[in-house]
Structure 1
């Protein structure tokens, strides 16, 4: 994986953790809302913390789509799970949440799982996928029977 790809995965991780933190802080200020009342949702979005959280989550979504364009979902999703570590640290030190030993153990297990996934290939080779992409690029019909 090259530096640009590492930066995209890091962007997914950081945008997600920061966006979720900002959203949480804003929603604690807003209080309980109901989807049955659209005005509550609009009022919540007007909160600066919620609005910035949404912007960061849009950044997450853009990076996530970019990562999925060159890597398998089974590689990208676990790699982005490192965000749980950042999220826990931000929640503990910025939101002053109490994180139990059980949660820290869960975060450690997630991190270990990311290590296993990162050791593998970012993209598995699928001849059908390659043929489909090649034909779609030139506007030709796709045949997956192997007779082309």
Structure 2
């Protein structure tokens, strides 16, 4: 399947620009930490869903992909640009630089709970598309979180195109 054909079935979400602007303005992330400058060349940036280059000014912050409080809400480290960037077009399909494994895909219901039957692993170099299609067809799933398989860090989330952001 091509990225263009897939874009009609789901949306891909980086960390929202307004959330990152609050972190930059306040000088504190969701966990109360100061954004920490970090040499992250080659690491995925969660603001624009591409890999950092040596020329990028990057900071490490804590992020909670689930907004609602629940036992499944996790806060973890992510790399983002130190200053505002163009972000990622949610309808552009899977981001080319971070669409292959090794990845763990975890499906969450509308109430923020993890659906333990909706967890898939994708091997090194494999496209996440087929596993993502399978998970997005599970009734009752609101979103799928794409994570690094080894580090378990949140990378981005995917929602069915018909889902309403909340």
TM-score, normalisation: structure 2: 0.21
Max radius of gyration: which structure? 1
Which structure dedicates a bigger proportion of its chain to strand? 2
Which structure dedicates a bigger proportion of its chain to helix? 1
TM-score, normalisation: structure 1: 0.23
